[in-house]
Amino acid sequence: MSYIIGANCIDVLDRSCIEVCPVDCIYVGSRKSYINGAECIDCGACEVECPVEAISVDRRARKDPDLKAFLEDSVAFFELPLPGRDAPLGNPGGAQLVGDVGDDTEFVADFVAEHSA
């Protein structure tokens, strides 16, 4: 089990979740943040801290089609090369080691919320 960050985080990037994460597994892209499932210890601190309710446990996301897309996208953020990069980010062992990534997956980069379209 892990946690994922959904659409409510896009263009918000509050960072409250990052401040409470005890293992530094939340990475910052350009438009949203991403939780590295391989580094997450499933403590849930991020979920309760998020002011926009963007964070969900992954088992909930597997049942919700909208959240499932963000679950798959979160995996892609770490396992596939981001646009303009030659290699995937992988599991670098903490977001502070990497700093703000500054890139998003194509899914998030192109994401337009239904209510804003």
Please, what is the Cα angle at 104 between 9 and 33, to 5 degrees?
35
Q: What is the pLDDT of residue 116?
A: 45
Per the model's pLDDT, the better-predicted residue between 63 and 30 turns out to be 30
CA 100 to chain centre: 12
Prediction pTM value: 0.92
What the chain holds in terms of domains, given with CATH numbers, is 3-109 (3.30.70.20)
pLDDT band per the 50, 70, 90 thresholds, residue 115: very low
pLDDT digits (tens, 9 = 90+) for 45-71: 999 999 999 999 988 877 888 899 999
Distances (CA, A) of 42 to 23, 30, 32, 82, 107: 10, 24, 20, 25, 25
Comparing 1 with 29, the larger pLDDT belongs to 29
Q: Which helix (H) or strand (E) covers residue 56, if one does?
A: strand 55-57
pLDDT of res. 99: 95
What does the block give as tokens for 59?
A: 């088992």
